[in-house]
Structure 1
Amino acid sequence: MTTKPKKQWLAIAAVLIVTLVLGAFIVSGKKSSSGGDEHGHQEAEAGEAHKDDDKHAEAEKPAKGPHGGKLLKSGDYAVEVTIFETGVEPQFRLYTYLGGKPIDPAQSQIQLSLLRLGQPPQAFTFRKEKDYLLGDAVVEEPHSFEVKVAATYAGKTHELGYEQVEARIAMSDDQLKSAGVELGVAGPAKIGTTLRLLGEVKYNSDRTVQMVPRLAGLVEQVLVSAGDTVRKGQVMAILSSQVLADQRAELLAAQQRLSLARTTYEREKKLWEEKITAEQDMLSARSAMQEAAIAAQSAQSKSASLGGDAASGGLTRYELRSPIDGVVTEKRISLGEAVKEDSAVFTVSDLSSVWVEAPVSSQDLGGLAVGQPTQVRANAFEATATSKVTYISALVGEQTRSAMVRTTLPNPKGLWRPGLPVTVEVLLEEKEVPVAVSAQAVQDLRDWKVVFGRYGESLEARPLELGRSDGRMVEVKGGLKAGDRYAATNSFVVKAELGKAGASHDH
C-alpha cells in the first residue's frame, strides 16, 4: 500500500517537470518571435526614415517657380529668382510670394550675392519694376555660380540660396597630364602687330654670276653639271677658240719684239758710253724698247682678260673658270657646241644666303620700314627663320599697285631653295599688354571666345574680350585676370570632354 502511492507521486512529479520545461521553451520562443517582429518593425521604420531623407534631399533642390525660375522657400515666404535675357542683357528678376500667392515685391528688402570660382563675390541690389524686383547689374556668362539671398520681410530675414553649374568639368591633374593639357598663367606679354605677306625664295643677286665666255669658240669639254658645287677658280668648261689663238700669237710676238728692243737698247747704250756712237742712237733705241714694252703689256692684259694662259695648253685652249664659290644652278652648254662670246653658258649662285621677296599693297606701305624684324615660314614643310627687312622698292607697279619688300636669309644648310613659296610676317610694332594668354588656348564655345580656367580640380569656361594678337599670344581685355591659371595647350580636349558631359545653359 505504501510503495504504490510513492511511485504515483514520482510519476506525477516527472510529468510536472516536463510540463514546466516545455512551457519555458514555448515562452522563450514567443519572446524571440516577438523580438524579431520588433526588429523588423525597426527596419521598416528605418526604411521609411531613409525614404523621408531622400524626399528631403529632393526638396532641397529649388522647385520651378511660376516664371520658370528657382523658387526658394523659407516657411510660407518664398522668392523666385529668374535670369531674364530676352531682348536685353541677362538680368536678375525676383518675384516674392507668401503662402504660395504673389505679394508686392516692394515689401521685401533683398540683397543677392553671386559667387563664382576664382572671383570675389558680386553684390546685387534691387528696385521694384512692375511686379518684380530688377537687379542693378548684368549677369555675366557663364551662368555658373552660387547664389546667396538675404530677404527681409515683415521684420524677419530669410537666408536662401542655390548653386548652378554651367560650362564646368572636373579633371584631375593626372587626367590633364595624360591628355597632354598643360596649364599656363595669364599675365603681361609683348604682343606685336604684324603684316602677313606671301612671298618666294629667290637667288641673292649680289652673289649670283651669269658666266659668259667673252669670246667665241667650240666646246671641247664640259666638266660640271647643274647642281654641282664649285670653288672659285675651278675649271668648268674648256673651249677651243681661234680668237684666243690670235691673241696669244700677238702676245708672243709682242714679247719677242720687246726682247729684241731691249737687246738693241743695251748694245746702243754700251756703244754710247764708249763714245763709239752718238747719243741720239742710244735714245732712239731706248724709245723703241719702251714702245715694245707698252705693246707687250697691252697684249698681256688683253690675253689675261680673256683667260689666256698659253702655258695651260695650246694656243686655242680656253678654260672657263668659276669666279666665285657656289652652286651651278643653270647649265646651258654642251659638248661640241659653238658658243658666242656673249652667251650665258652657266649660272653660279652662292646659296649660303638667299633673298625672300614678297609683294606688298600700296595701302600697307606706310607701316613698313627697312630694319623691321621678319619671320619667314615655309609653306611646303615645317621651317621658320628670322631676319630683317633689307629693301623696299621705291616704285609701285602700275598694273599691280604693289611694291616689293625683301629680306635676306642665311642659308648654311641649303634648306631655303629658290622658288620655294613662303609666308613672311613683318613685325610693324610691339606693345606690352597687362594680361595675355596663349593663342592656342582660345576656343569657340557657343558664341563666345573662351579659355578654360583652372580652379581646384575643375576647369570652367571663361568668356573673354580679346584684343590684339600676334598668332602666339592674344591680349585679354576682360574675362580673366593676371595670375589666373588656364588650359594653355590641347584645350580642345577640355572642350570635347565638356561636350561629352552635356553641359547645359541653366537659368
Structure 2
Amino acid sequence: MSNASPSASGKPGRQQVFIIIVLLVVGAIVGAMILRSGPTKPAGGDSHGHEESAKAGDDGHGHAEEAGAHAEEAAPKGPHGGQLFTEGDFALELLLAEEGGEPRFKAWLVDKAQPMPLAGTAVALTLTRPNGDEQEIVLRPVNGVLTSAQTVAEPHIFEASVAVQTPKESYLFSFSQQEGKVAMTDAQIQAASITLDTSVPATIRSALQFPGEIKFNEDRTAHIVPRVLGVVESVSANLGQQVKKGQVLAVISSAAVSETRSELQAAQRRRELAQTTYEREQSLWQQKISPEQDVLQARQALREAEITVANATQKLQTLGASTHSGALGRLELRAPFDGMVVEKHIALGEAVKEDASVFTLSDLSSVWAELSVAARDLQQVRVGERVVVRAGASDAVANGTVSYVGSLIGEQTRTAPARVVLPNPQGAWRPGLFVTVEVLAAEKASAVTVAAAALQTLDDQPVVFLKVPGGFVPQPVQTGRSDGKRVEIVRGLKPGASVAAAGSFVVKSEQGKSSATHTH
C-alpha cells in the first residue's frame, strides 16, 4: 500500500474551505444591503414625490413606489426659464409668468426629451400661504400651453405641491416660493427696535377718522368796519392784543358823522323850543287867555321835534357813533365783545372807506374743528355724535360733539361740511392747526385684531408683516373697525399670528429694497 497526499486525492484543504465560507458570507451581506436599499431614485427639482403604477405588459402584479424628498441648493431651469422638475424620463417645467399684470402659472410636460401631448393630462397646484390660507390652482391648455385659470395674488410667498396626471403615470412634486420675504435675524430685529404683536380677539369702539382744521368760531368773530368815509386820527389796538367789550380800538374823523351829529344837536334845540312853547300855550289856555287850538298846534310841533331828534339819534347809532362827543366828526371804533385782535388793516393818518375791514376780532375761548365727510360716511356722522379731536403737531386732545352737518354735497369735493365746537380756555387750539377728528361709534367684539402700528401699505393695499422663521413676509389683509390703538382684521390673518408692530416701517423699507429687483 502506498500513502497519497491530500493534494493528490483532489479534496480541498482546510484553508480553501475557510476562504470559500468567507466569500459566501460577504456575498450574502452585500446582497441583503442591495435589496434593502431599493431602486435608485432619479434627480429632480427642489423636492418631489412620485407615485408609479405597473405598466401594460408587466406580469400583472401592480406596485406603488413612494418617492422620497430631494433637496437641492438651486433648482434647475427649463428652456422657458421656469423651474424644472424631473422623474426618470419625465420632466415638468413650471413658470410663474406675469402677463397683462396678472401672474399665472404655465407648465410644459416632456417625456423622453419630447414634448408630451396635452390631451389626457392634468396639472393642479395647492398653494399654502404663511397665514395658513390655501389656494387650489388648475392648469388647462391655452394656445398649446398649460395655463392656470386663477391668478396668483402677491406676495408670491407660499409652499406649493404640484400634482401631474398623464395618461400613463401620476407625479407629485413640491417646492417653496419665497419671493418678497424680508430676511432678518433675531439680532437684527432687536437692533432695529421692531416689536412683535399677536393677533388676538378684542373689543373695538370703532372710530371714523377725518382730516380737519381748526377755524375761528364765526359766531364769535367780528369784522369791524368804519361805515363812513374818514381819516384815522388814532389807533390804540395792536395785532394779537386781547381787548374788552367797549374798548376803543381806533378813532376816525368823518365829515358824515359831523353832519349827522350837527343835525342831532339842531333837532335837540328845536325840541327844547317846542317844549317851552307847548308849556306856555298850555298855561295860557288853562288861564282862559289863549284858545285851545294854539295848545294843539304847540303839542304837534313838539311831537315833530321829538321825531326829528329820534331820527338823528338813530342815524348816529347806525354809523356806530355816540350821541355825546366833544368833536362833531369823532367816530370811535369799539370792541363789540371780549376777544383778540386777529387782523389789523389800519394805520394813523390813513383814509379809510366805509366798507373797509380795519379790524377782525375773535373770541378764541371757543373754536371750530371743521371737517369734510364723504357721502358714504354721513350715516355715522350726525349732530350730537361724540368725537375726539387730536392735534397733528402736538399731543393736544379734546372731546366734543358734532354741532353741525351740512345738508348739501359739494359738487367738486362730493363731501358735506361738518363742524365741532371746541372749548379753548388755554388757547391751545389755534386757528389753522391741522387735526384728526375721530367720530366714535358703538363697541363691537372682533375676532382678529392687531396693533394699529402693524398696518402698512404696499401697492395701495393694507398689509401686515407676518413673522416667519428667518424674517418677515408681507401679508395682505382687509381691515375693519379701528379705535386708533387696535385694528380689526376682517380677512387675511388668523388669531395667534405674530406680526411686526412698532418699527414695522423698517421691515417695509427693507422689503422695498428687495422689490426693486422683483421678477417672475
Q: TM-score, normalised by structure 1?
A: 0.54
- Whether 1:241 aligns to 2:254 is yes
Residue 222 of structure 1, CA deviation: 0.5
Q: Deviations over 1:336-362 (max 9, x none)?
A: 1122222221122223333455567xx
1:89 corresponds to which of 121, 126, 129:
126
Q: Which residue of 2 aligns with 1:365?
A: 375
Residue 81 of structure 1, CA deviation: 6.3
- Whether 1:188 aligns to 2:202 is yes
The structure-2 alpha-carbon separation of the partners of 1:133 and 1:215, relative to structure 1 and needing over 3 Å to count, comes to closer
Q: Deviations over 1:361-415 (max 9, x none)?
A: xxx4243254366665555555555553723362534xx3544523234251334
> In the alignment, residue 311 of structure 2 is paired with which amino acid?
S
> In the alignment, residue 317 of structure 1 is paired with which amino acid?
R
The structure-2 alpha-carbon separation of the partners of 1:274 and 1:330, relative to structure 1 and needing over 3 Å to count, comes to same
Q: Which residue of 2 aligns with 1:408?
A: 420
Distance 1:478 1:449 in 2: 12
Higher normalized helix content (fraction of residues)? 1
1:83-162 alignment to 2 at 5 Å? Answer: 88-89=125-126
**Residues 452 and 491, structure 1, Cα contact 8 Å, conserved in 2:** no
Q: Which runs of 5+ in 1 are unaligned?
A: 1-63, 72-77, 92-127, 143-166, 500-507
2:244 corresponds to which of 231, 244, 247:
231
Q: Which residue of 1 aligns with 2:276?
A: 263
> In the alignment, residue 468 of structure 1 is paired with which amino acid?
T
Q: Which residue of 1 aligns with 2:354?
A: 341
**Residues 210 and 371, structure 2, Cα contact 8 Å, conserved in 1:** no
Residue 238 of structure 1, CA deviation: 0.7
**Residues 437 and 475, structure 1, Cα contact 8 Å, conserved in 2:** yes
Q: Which residue of 2 aligns with 1:436?
A: 449
The structure-2 alpha-carbon separation of the partners of 1:428 and 1:226, relative to structure 1 and needing over 3 Å to count, comes to same
2:405 corresponds to which of 391, 413, 430:
391
**Residues 213 and 433, structure 2, Cα contact 8 Å, conserved in 1:** yes
Distance 2:356 2:478 in 1: 58
Q: Which residue of 2 aligns with 1:250?
A: 263
Which secondary structure state, in structure 2, belongs to the residue aligned with residue 89 of structure 1? strand
The structure-2 alpha-carbon separation of the partners of 1:274 and 1:459, relative to structure 1 and needing over 3 Å to count, comes to farther
**Residues 465 and 507, structure 2, Cα contact 8 Å, conserved in 1:** no
> In the alignment, residue 449 of structure 1 is paired with which amino acid?
V
The structure-2 alpha-carbon separation of the partners of 1:385 and 1:459, relative to structure 1 and needing over 3 Å to count, comes to farther
Q: Which runs of 5+ in 2 are unaligned?
A: 1-40, 50-65, 72-84, 86-93, 95-104, 106-124, 129-164, 512-520
**Residues 456 and 505, structure 2, Cα contact 8 Å, conserved in 1:** no
The structure-2 alpha-carbon separation of the partners of 1:443 and 1:353, relative to structure 1 and needing over 3 Å to count, comes to closer
- Whether 1:449 aligns to 2:464 is yes
- Cα RMSD for the two superposed structures: 5.1
2:335 corresponds to which of 294, 300, 322:
322
Q: Which residue of 2 aligns with 1:468?
A: 479
Q: Deviations over 1:134-188 (max 9, x none)?
A: 99xxx9999xxxxxxxxxxxxxxxxxxxxxxxx99989xxx99x97958677223
Distance 1:246 1:318 in 2: 12
> In the alignment, residue 365 of structure 2 is paired with which amino acid?
S
Q: Which residue of 2 aligns with 1:490?
A: 502
Which secondary structure state, in structure 1, belongs to the residue aligned with residue 126 of structure 2? coil
Residue 417 of structure 1, CA deviation: 3.4
> In the alignment, residue 89 of structure 1 is paired with which amino acid?
T
> In the alignment, residue 292 of structure 1 is paired with which amino acid?
A
The structure-2 alpha-carbon separation of the partners of 1:432 and 1:222, relative to structure 1 and needing over 3 Å to count, comes to same
- Work out the number of aligned pairs and report it: 356
Q: Which has the larger radius of gyration?
A: 1
- Whether 1:283 aligns to 2:293 is no
Distance 1:404 1:313 in 2: 53
The structure-2 alpha-carbon separation of the partners of 1:487 and 1:316, relative to structure 1 and needing over 3 Å to count, comes to same
The structure-2 alpha-carbon separation of the partners of 1:186 and 1:313, relative to structure 1 and needing over 3 Å to count, comes to farther
Residue 286 of structure 1, CA deviation: 1.9
Matched-pair identity in %: 38
Distance 1:451 1:222 in 2: 66
Q: Which residue of 2 aligns with 1:217?
A: 230
Which secondary structure state, in structure 1, belongs to the residue aligned with residue 477 of structure 2? strand
